[in-house]
Copies of this chain bind each other. A is one copy, B any other.
Amino acid sequence: MSCSTAAGGAPRPAPEPSAPDHVRMGVGARLTLHPATDDFVPVILSALSAARATAPGVTVRTDDVSTLLRGSEQDVATFVAAGLEHAARITSTGHVVATLALSRGCPGEVGCDLPAGELVEVVPVHLAPAGLHASAHWALYPLGTADAMGPILAAIDTAQRRGTYGGAENFATRLDGDLADVLATVVDTWTGVGREVAHVAAHATVSVGSPSRRGDR
């Protein structure tokens, strides 16, 4: 569940008012890397290690399903980009997919009834071009609000303006471009919605090096 800590875990003390924005806003991500290779274990471990070295500010906890990332939006974006790029470069087949879920404002972490003044502005992330083409299916979920479509349309406008918009699909929007641009679009639109809505989740399936082409079958 997106807000499981509220439901299943012990109540947590609220973060200090002086805590960094990303801590007060319950910012974090879940990342699963899927290198298409027999030797997936060393690829995943090496990719996570490279990502840790690139974004040392991220708190990382890996279990058998995914890796939990806690940190600022910039640090989490840097971690994901570095991990996926590293995995793609060392996977023998060249094909790696990442399943990424971003979350902010979760009721289990901090209240979702934050006053408007608490909705923080996050500067766009900066990711160096990866030199790898990525294709993604992306979904954005503003939660606890009757108008989910307004922020979604604004996010699609952002993707179009950035040149990463790849078309409307059923249940997803397609993104295409350099891996860095695709990830930055996912992160920046998620933080953009966060200026209007406290609890926002974003999911993306990001594929690098697929032997299939768009609309193959």
Contact = CB atoms under 8 A, between A and B. Distances in A.
- Give chain A's interface residue range (CB within 8 Å of chain B): 35 or more
Contacts of A29: 171
Contact of A141 (B62, B70, B143, B146): B143
Contacts of A205: 30, 32, 65-66, 99
Interface string A40-68: 11000000000000000000011111101
Nearest to A136: B65
A108 B156 CA distance: 14
Which one of A2, A9, A145, A213 has the highest number of Cβ atoms from chain B below 10 Å of its Cβ? Answer: A2
A174 B37 contact: no
A16 to B, nearest CB: 19
Q: Is the interface of A mostly helix, strand, loop or mixed?
A: mixed
B8 A156 contact: yes
A128 interface: no
A71 to B, nearest CB: 12
A57 B24 CA distance: 47
Nearest to A61: B217
Interface of A: 1-9, 28-30, 32, 34-38, 40-41, 61-66, 68, 70, 92-93, 95, 97, 99, 101, 103, 106-109, 135-149, 152-153, 155-156, 165, 167-174, 199, 201, 203, 205, 207, 210-217
